[in-house]
Structure 1
Amino acid sequence: MEKREIKRYIFIAFLAVAVCVISQNFAVFVSFLSVVLGALKPLIMGLMIAYIFNIIMNFFEKHYFPKSSSKLVKKSRRPVCLAASFAITIAIIILIMYIVVPEIASAFGVLYDEIPPAFTKSKDFILGKLKEYPEIQEQISTVEFDWTNIAEKASKLLTSGVAGILSSAVGIIGGLTSAVTNLVLGLIFAVYLLLRKDKLIKDSGRLRTLWFSDDTNRKLGRVLNTANETFRSFFIGQFVEAIILGTLCFIGMKILKLPYAAMSGTLVGVTAFIPIVGAFLGAGISAFIILTESPMQALIFIIFLLILQQFEGNIIYPKVVGGTVGLPSIWTLAAVTVGGGLFGVFGMILGVPLAATLYKLAFFKLEEKESELGITPPDEEEKTPKPSKKSKKAAKASAKKK
């Protein structure tokens, strides 16, 4: 046998043994995998941050004295553009918090002022109705309470409640500390990747050339390029779409004279980053807050946003994102559902471009197989122009002459 076949059989045997070992010790494998992923979480977070910030940094680099040949400009281009991308992101986050937080605090202040009077009115209403039913009053008056037993149960509940609160507080503080630590380490790793990205890309290309054959490199390059184009176009399209949707929501609410226009437009725009369900999530929160002012205005807001969602889904989204993502609606819904079930909000956001990448690669493979077998794709058959009557007559005439 050739060396290639021997390597293939060894790999298949190793894979079969690995599958058997994992299936027999699945619980141990899952716990080991969770430990590994927990250790790699800062690096994974850093890769995600670096990829997103690279899109912003590339925009600044294209406009940072592009025609200058000065050494100072070339050396300062990467650090200055990286600092600008972080600065504009922090400014956007601060602006969102400045708009949203005071409005939400005001809405909860209204709730705090309205709930006690509503409770008092409900209580008076119930007591007033009970006067019409003396039997119920009599039953209530005959009810006796064992105050000693109630006090013992209350003390036990209070003790367990305090212990639960303390343990929950410790857990929350520990989780928050871990999240902040992972975020800081991820940011440091992302900054290093962005500053050294040209060298890292060059070194990875050299390693690919050394380890893999030309055919494998070609296939791997196509996978990476397809994934990069899909993810890049998805993030840019979602960002532009979120700005447009939030702006239209703000303008429409101002025209309809609805309260909390700035907060609602910002919430709808920010949550629009989550495909399909994001804008509805922002709409639900906004509608609840508007409900504190007026139920009728909340209903008007819901109707307005449903109309805006139809306009956005059928006109804005195809124009902004277009066919660059190229994923049908049913697969988009499936990607959001599966990604959200596995990894929460991040799974919803990343599930769509990942599914779109796999979808495109599958169709590339399908087109290659069809071209090898000489099969014409249905789309090309539809595009092929049918011969006219004149061309048919000319073909018959030429055939008769021959």
Structure 2
Amino acid sequence: MNKTDVKHYIFIAMLAIAVIVISQNFSVLASFISLVLGALKPLVIGFMIAYIFNIIMKFFEKHYFPKSNSRAAALTRRPVCMVCAFAIAIAMIILVMYIIIPEIASAFGVLYDEIPPAFTSAKDFVMGKLNEYPEIQEQISTVEFDWANIAEKASKILTSGLAGILSSAMGIIGGLTSAVTNLVLGIIFAIYLLLRKDKLFRDGNRIRKACFSEEFNEKFSRVFHTANETFQSFFVGQFVEAIILGTLCFIGMKILKLPYAAMSGTLVGVTAFIPIVGAFFGAGISAFIILTESPMQALIFLIFLIILQQFEGNIIYPKVVGGTVGLPSIWTLAAVTLGGGLFGIFGMILGVPLAGTLYKLSFHALEKKESELGIATPDDKKQAKLPKPQKTANPQKPKKVSRKK
């Protein structure tokens, strides 16, 4: 055997040994991967924040003294635009909380005040219908809705399970502290990425050109640009679509004179960031809150939102988001389902642009392979069926008649 064959067989042997070791110690490997992912979580959060805020920053950078070549404008462009992007995001979060939280608190206050009278009315109604059965009526009459008794029983349960509650509370506090810490570190990392993004791109391109072949760099650039274009189009389109849906919901509820119009429109718009199923989550919460005012109005709201969802899904979403991502409806539903099952809400949001990127790249590879094999693509067949424009014969110019003197 020559040296090439020896290296080949050694590589196969090492790979087989690695597979055996990993299969026998899979739990240790899973724990190690979980530890690494937990350590990288702030960096991942920071990268996601930087990517989304970079879309907003680029808009401000295009309008921040675009024709000025002064040094002051060049030095202040990046920090000012970043501050404006974060200020808009914070203002939107505060506005959403200012609209939603008071309305939800008011709805739960109404619910707390309405449950005891509703229970008493229901009991009286049942007793009136059961006059023919005095034994059952006597049993129902003994039923009382006593808040003091319920509170006493609840306090006993809490006292008996105090240790479990304390441990759960400590777990919740620890989880909340970890989430806040990861978010703060992620924001700091995002700010660094946004301030140094030009230098990071230049350094990355230098490393890529120095360490990899030209063919690999070409493929990497195509994948990167396709993914970047798809993700940016998705986020912008989803944001516009959520604003349109929330605004239409608010206007429709005002026309129908339904309560909690501002809260419901905001909640439906915010949850619409989750493709396909997001608006239904907001609709369910809004319908439950409207139910505290009137069951009939809650039913009218659900019918109205179903109609609005059909209009939005068939007309607005394909125009605003569908055309930019380029993913068929069935694959969009599959991406949302699979992403939600694997990674929760973030998987549902990121599943659609990721699937759109893979969809575009796979069809690009398919068209390239068909072109190499000489197979006609559907676009070529369409072009072949189109009638070719016929060339009209040039009209003969009249001959000039020479005049003799």
TM-score by length of 2: 0.87
Question: How far apart, in 1, do the equivalents of 2:155 and 2:291 lie?
Answer: 39
SS of residue paired to 2:44: helix
Superposed counterparts of 1:205-354, under 5 Å: 205-354=205-354
The question of 1:54 aligning with 2:30 is answered no
Say if 1:387 and 1:76 are closer, same or farther in 2 by CA, change over 3 A.
closer
Aligned-partner Cα distance in 2 for 1:312–1:330: 17
The structural deviation recorded for 1:133 is 3.5
Partner of 2:143: none
Deviation by residue 1:87-132 (Cα, 9 ceiling, x = unmatched): 0100000001111111111111110110011122334455666764
- Measured in 2, the distance between the counterparts of 1:213 and 1:127 equals 85
Pairwise CA distance, 1:334: 1.0
The reply to whether residue 379 of structure 1 matches residue 362 of structure 2 is: no
Using the TM superposition, give the Cα deviation of residue 324 of structure 1 relative to its aligned residue in structure 2, in angstroms: 2.0
Alpha carbons of structure 1 residues 211 and 98: separation in structure 2 relative to 1, 3 Å: same
Q: Which residue of 2 aligns with 1:32?
A: 32
Question: Do structure 1's residue 94 and structure 2's residue 94 form an aligned pair?
Answer: yes
* Secondary structure of the corresponding residue to residue 34 of structure 1: helix
In 1, distance between residues paired with 2:46 and 2:68?
32
Q: What CA distance in whole angstroms lies between the structure 2 residues aligned with 1:8 and 1:257?
A: 76
Change (3 A) 1:136 1:110: closer
CA drift of 1:385 comes to 2.7
4+ aligned runs moved over 3 Å, structure 1: 1-20, 122-140, 153-160
Residues 166/245 of structure 1: CA separation in 2 closer, same or farther (3 Å cut): same
Query: Relative to structure 1, is the Cα distance of residues 12 and 355 closer, same or farther in structure 2, using a 3 angstrom cutoff?
Result: farther
Shift of 1:382: 2.3
Listed one character per residue, the Cα deviations across residues 207-249 of structure 1 (whole Å, up to 9, x for unaligned) are 1111110001111111111110010000000000001111111
What's the CA shift for 1:311?
1.0
Change (3 A) 1:50 1:132: same
CA RMSD in angstroms comes to 2.8
CA distance in 2, matches of 1:138, 1:248: 52
1:118 aligned onto 2:118:
yes
In 2, Cα distance between the equivalents of 1:52 and 1:119?
49
Q: Which runs of 5+ in 2 are unaligned?
A: 141-152, 392-405
Moved more, 74-83 or 30-39: 30-39
Percent identical pairs in the alignment equals 78
SS at match of 1:321: helix
**How far apart are 1:20 and its partner, in Å?**
3.3
Q: Please tell me whether residue 44 in structure 1 is matched to residue 41 in structure 2.
A: no
User: Which amino acid in 1 is paired with 2:320?
Assistant: V
Q: Take 1:120 and 1:264, find their aligned partners in 2: how far apart are those partners?
A: 30
Match of 1:356?
Answer: 356
Contact kept, 8 Å, 2:127 with 2:137, in 1: the verdict is no
How far off is 1:202 after superposition? Answer: 0.5
Q: Could you tell me which amino acid in structure 1 is paired with residue 255 of structure 2?
A: I
**TM-score between both structures, scaled by the size of structure 1:** 0.87
- How many aligned residue pairs are there? 380
How big is the shift at 1:138?
A: 8.8
Deviation per CA, 1:144-164: give whole Å up to 9, x if none.
xxxxxxxxx999955442222
Partner SS, residue 384 of structure 1 = helix
**Who is 2:74 aligned against?**
74
- The answer for unaligned runs of 5 or more in structure 1 is 141-152, 392-402
**SS of equivalent to 2:161:** helix
Deviations 1:261-288 (A, max 9, x none): 1111101110000001001111111111
SS, match of residue 237 in structure 1: helix
> Which amino acid in the other structure matches residue 271 of structure 1?
T
- 1:9 and 1:220 map into 2 onto residues whose CA distance is 30
- 1:166: how far off? 1.1
Letter in 1 for 2:290: I
